[in-house]
A and B are shown apart, each in its own frame.
Chain A
Amino acid sequence: MIHVLAFYLFATLVVCSGALTILSRNPVHSVLWLILAFFNAAGLMVLLGAEFIAMLLVIVYVGAVAVLFLFVVMMLDIDFAELRAGFVDYLPFGMLIALVLLAEIVLGIGIWSAGPIELAQRAAPVNPEMSNIQAIGTLLYTRYIFLFEAAGIVLLVAMIGAIVLTHRARGGVKGQNIARQNRRRPQDAVRNVNQPVGQGVEL
Chain B
Amino acid sequence: MTAFFQNWGLPFNGAWLLSTVIGILVIALPLMLAVAMIIYADRKIWAAMALRRGPNVVGPFGLLQSFADGAKVFLQETIIPSAANRALFLIAPIITFTVALIAWAVIPFQAGVVLANINVGLLYILAISSLGVYGIVLAGWASNSKYPFYSAIRASAQMISYEVSIGFILVCVVLWAGSFNLTAIVESQRGYYGFINGHAFNPLLFPMSIMFLVSAMAETGRAPFDLTEAESELVAGYQTEYSSMSFALYWLGEYANVILMCALNAILFWGGYLPPIDWAPLYYVPGIIWLFAKILFFFFVFSWVKATVPRYRYDQLMRLGWKVFLPVSLFFVFLVSGFLMFTRYGGAQ
Contacts and interface: CB of A to CB of B under 8 A. Distances in A.
A58 interface: yes
Contacts of A74: 137, 141, 149, 152-153
Interface residues of A, number: 26
B201 interface: no
B238 interface: no
B131 interface: yes
A51 B156 contact: no
Tell me whether chain A's interface is mostly helix, strand or loop, or mixed: helix
A141 interface: no
Contacts of B266: none
Given A2-B13, A70-B137, A63 B118 contact: no
Point out which of A2, A59, A71 has the most chain B C-beta atoms below 10 A from its C-beta.
A59
Interface in B147-201: 149, 152-153, 156-157, 159-160, 163, 167, 180
B134 A35 contact: yes
Contacts of A132: 119-120
A133 B120 contact: yes
Given A70-B137, A74-B141, A59 B123 contact: yes
Interface residues of B, number: 31
Contacts of A158: none
B133 interface: yes
Interface in A20-63: 28, 32, 35, 42, 51-52, 55-56, 58-59, 62-63
Point out which of B120, B137, B156, B315 has the most chain A C-beta atoms below 10 A from its C-beta.
B120
Nearest to B125: A55
B21 interface: no
Given A52-B123, A55-B120, A67 B180 contact: no
A144 B124 CA distance: 26
A87 B163 CA distance: 40
Contacts of B316: 176
